[in-house]
Structure 1
Amino acid sequence: MINLKMIFRIMGVLVLIEAALLLFCAGVSLIYGEDILNDFLIVSAGSVVLGGLLMLMGKGASRQINRRDGYLIVTLTWILFTAIGMFPYLISGYVPRITDAFFETMSGFTTTGATVIDNIESMPHGLLFWRSLTQWVGGWGIIFFTIAMLPIFGIGSMHIFSAVAIGSTQEKVHPRISMTAKWIGYVYLTLTAAQIIFMALGGVSFFDSICHSFSTISTGGFSTKQANIAYYNSPYIEYVVSIFMILAGINFTLFFYLIKGKVKKVLFDEELRWFLWSLVIFTGIFTVALTYTNQFGAGESFRKALFQVASLHTTTGLVSADYMTWKPFLWALLVVIMFLGACSGSASGAIKSIRLLILSKMTKNEFKRMIHPNAVLPVKVKKIAISPSLQSSILLFILMYIVILVVSWVAMMAMGVGNIEAFGTVVSSISSVGPGLGLCGPAHSWSCLPDGGKWLLSFLMLLGRLELLTVLLLFTPQFWKKR
């Protein structure tokens, strides 16, 4: 039914990769002469042992994997990486509680960006680098490491790709999925390197430029500063980060087409146009509102509006101002933006533009069908008809999104969390955004939340990162039946 041996083998290889990432952070600590170097070495050594054991358990595994294996691999990868990744926080003592360490690490690998740390700038460089690296790795997708590596084992990776892309429309730039993953990786690396250069040109230290670029391109939101991007108080930095947040929200395959000279394919991409028009409209509304309410001058209003709309629309979660000081009706609009997300094929979370585009066309067709009951009205995106099964999957995704949000909101309030804070943290977690509302807004950490709330939100982060259905499927009896 489930190829456990191959799952163990793949998990083992991925754990060894995480061990190498931890060694990289140990190198950063070595450069800065920090005591946390030994902590990274200990965790890395433990990861090597665990990875070796998992590979031994997978010895002699069959090379055949199915969809069930794919769903398990995707979910277990994020959980296992988080379980291992929290140990540098725990052993070093900078985040001494398991609940907080797990929350912080899950927030990193799911590119959510919510934090329970109140003294970020007191942390050593090695740990700050690890926080940003977890987001960068999670943004590219730990699973893309798997997709790129599966051919080494002689395994097709379509089932894992399907598990990641469930309920969405992912486009291949190459007949082989592993090559698609590698091309996405090249784009990811190029955007990251470009932002590092532009931020360094703006006077940001090389270390901070790397960490913030990791957080931006992954649409994560972790910062090396407690005040986030507002710390720099620089229009140049705000514009640079805004531009790269928008670029990070675009389907990475479109960059590949642009490189290949297929400009029309990019310009006439319906999802991209939907996403960009949404950015323009909301930025315009916020610019007018901030200017009219005398929050800022016209120029600064546009800059703050562009930054915050781009940040929440792409679910990055970086902040250049405390939006809780803005008028309450703008909070409501920001929550709406949190639901939207950017393009499929990016590291963005939330509902995503492609689903909203298809939903709008389905709605339009239903109104037409009321007037012309016998009309055949296919839903088309990029001149391709969307199958009824995919339409149903999108409706199910949105329905489950709303149901989980409401149930979790009530659960958070039952734990004693305030109404506004409960709603903001739940929306932010399931959409992989980062900052919430009220006392959990951009000017505060989430350390005030009860432990039960942190575990619930950690689960919501996992759900949101893996498109809900991928994780929920594991809780259905049908998944574990032999037939």
Structure 2
Amino acid sequence: MINLKMILRIMGILSLIEAVLLLLCAGVSLIYGESIINDFLMVAAGSVIFGGLLLLMGKGASKQLNRRNGYLIVTLSWLLFSAIGMFPFLISGYVPRVVDAFFETMSGFTTTGATVIDNIESLPHGLLFWRSLTQWAGGLGIIFFTIAMLPLFGMGSMHLFSAEATGTSHERLHPRISITAKWIWYVYFGLTLALTLFLLLGGMNLFDSICHSFSTISTGGFSTKKASIAYYSSPYIEYVISIFMILSGINFTLFFYLAKGKPQKALLNEELKWFLKSIIVFTAIFTVTLTYTSPYGVGESFRKALFQVASLHTTTGLVSADYMVWTPFLWALLGVIMFLGASSGCTSGAIKSIRLLILGKMTKNEFKRMVHPNAVLPVKINKIAISPSTQSSVLLFILLYMIIFVASWLAMMAMGVGNVEAFGTVVSSMGSVGPGLGLCGPVHSWNCLPDGGKWLLSFLMLIGRLELFTVLLLFTPQFWKKR
């Protein structure tokens, strides 16, 4: 059964959390003496009032969460945060249209990083900080933060975790899921702080350092500059961000094994090795190709290759070069990389390495079975057998992912979007990548897209961020049945 009162209560809590985030941006505007502070205060006040009303409506709600309520709450959370979060753009007049403001905010909270704003530098500091903060808050998941806080309100949280952390497995570092969530947030915050310090050492000012740390660790991609990281023309900054993008693409639980003196359990992780090998192979291909087809030397070719591969592979979306001026072979390869994603248990989007690893082992076993039809060939990851149901889930996810991609690609072209642009925007939105291809590439905004396309891509960002099933389940009749 759908527990409406409990859902309203949690939505109220989330509205209050967003009000706090908005007040942080008001503080930034205050520091820089910007008039947009009034807009942030107005939206924050509205969010508090709205949240208070929801809490009153949810008074006396049951403290138990079932799986059905968990899926509904997670989906509604992203919609709620995006709906409230678009008002600073609208009220300030910097993004005056609802479709554009909602797109920009959904892109932030889903850590996609695609933008419809043509002149990023024209935005006040408060609004630039809001764009970055939406990514940082959405990176590990508003719900993932909330489940760490729900015990304070006397509510359970396991079903919210299951709905938010969809995938092949949910590794738990502690019997209490709220403790696990808090520990992972410590890693998340620690990486953010470390990157901020490194960027400061590289000559980036404090404001830009914080904003780019938010965008990098969340694998989001919003920058305070239209040219993104290319604006700084700094090899040091490119290398530092490249390293932290890769670190952010690693399952966060592995950092705890390192901290607890269990490096073998982390370093021998098969998904980690698959992910790092993929980064190395693609970087090598890009480096060789750029060396022979571009004016870059070997060193610069490697740096540009590493940055772009790490950025798109981890679905971060920051760029240090306009890759659309490179040879078309590399465009196609970048399009492939956008499908891959990084590890499970991190903020990356797309298909993710664990599914590709399982698919690869299933394919290998199928060839063996053709030669030895009676052989028992289990699929093992880290010496643990993967159940047939999980294998089926992986196949279904990849199949559904590709069906939605093709259907959306055709839909975008039917709206008049070019073939290359339609491909790039769809794969980027589903994978939470950010930049696309063609006229929607790394140096262009997506403002040229039709309104229908922006609504469609916003929906793809949502289902891609929550890995398809959490959202699509709500459209099935079975979900709404009382039994």
Maintained 8 Å contact 1:167/1:390: no
Which deviates further from its counterpart, 278-287 or 156-165?
Answer: 156-165
Which deviates further from its counterpart, 147-156 or 99-108?
Answer: 147-156
**Per-residue deviation, 1:285:** 0.4
Maintained 8 Å contact 1:409/1:422: yes
Which residue in the other structure is 2:325 paired with? Answer: 325
Maintained 8 Å contact 1:248/1:347: yes
Structure 2: distance between partners of 1:104 and 1:168: 30
TM-score normalised by the chain length of structure 1: 0.99
TM-score normalised by the chain length of structure 2: 0.99
Which residue in the other structure is 1:370 paired with? Answer: 370
**Per-residue deviation, 1:375:** 1.6
Structure 2: distance between partners of 1:367 and 1:112: 37
Maintained 8 Å contact 2:167/2:344: no
Structure 1: distance between partners of 2:374 and 2:152: 52
Is 1:208 the equivalent of 2:208? yes
Is 1:435 the equivalent of 2:397? no
**1:10-409 equivalences in 2 (<5 Å):** 10-409=10-409
Maintained 8 Å contact 2:294/2:326: no
Structure 1: distance between partners of 2:165 and 2:137: 18
Structure 1: distance between partners of 2:350 and 2:148: 25
Structure 2: distance between partners of 1:454 and 1:210: 29
**Per-residue deviation, 1:101:** 0.2
Maintained 8 Å contact 1:219/1:248: yes
Maintained 8 Å contact 1:167/1:397: no
Alpha-carbon deviations, 1:240-266, whole Å to 9, x = none?
Answer: 110110010001111111111110111
SS at 1:472 equivalent: helix
Maintained 8 Å contact 2:144/2:164: no
The letter for the 2-side match of 1:43 is V
The letter for the 1-side match of 2:53 is L
Structure 2: distance between partners of 1:31 and 1:474: 43
Maintained 8 Å contact 1:169/1:354: no
Which residue in the other structure is 1:461 paired with? Answer: 461
Which deviates further from its counterpart, 143-152 or 293-302?
Answer: 143-152
Which residue in the other structure is 1:422 paired with? Answer: 422
Alpha-carbon deviations, 1:205-226, whole Å to 9, x = none?
Answer: 1000000000000000000001
Structure 2: distance between partners of 1:412 and 1:330: 23
Maintained 8 Å contact 1:295/1:326: no
**Per-residue deviation, 1:400:** 0.7
Maintained 8 Å contact 1:287/1:301: yes
Structure 2: distance between partners of 1:9 and 1:172: 27
**Per-residue deviation, 1:461:** 0.3
Structure 2: distance between partners of 1:278 and 1:170: 23
**Per-residue deviation, 1:156:** 2.7
The letter for the 2-side match of 1:30 is L
Structure 2: distance between partners of 1:64 and 1:274: 39
SS at 2:171 equivalent: coil
Alpha-carbon deviations, 1:329-351, whole Å to 9, x = none?
Answer: 11111011111000001000000
Structure 1: distance between partners of 2:145 and 2:166: 18
**Per-residue deviation, 1:7:** 1.1
**Per-residue deviation, 1:165:** 2.7
Structure 1: distance between partners of 2:65 and 2:20: 26
Structure 2: distance between partners of 1:413 and 1:434: 19
Q: Unpaired segments of 5 or more residues in structure 1?
A: none
SS at 1:433 equivalent: coil
The letter for the 2-side match of 1:122 is S
Structure 1: distance between partners of 2:158 and 2:376: 32
Query: What's the C-alpha RMSD, in Å, of the aligned pairs?
Result: 0.8
Structure 1: distance between partners of 2:245 and 2:188: 12
- Sequence identity percentage: 81
Alpha-carbon deviations, 1:393-451, whole Å to 9, x = none?
Answer: 11111011000000000100010000100010000000000000000000100000000
> How many residues are paired up?
483
Q: Which runs of 4+ in 1 moved over 6 A?
A: none
Structure 1: distance between partners of 2:394 and 2:160: 19
SS at 2:60 equivalent: coil
**Per-residue deviation, 1:392:** 1.1
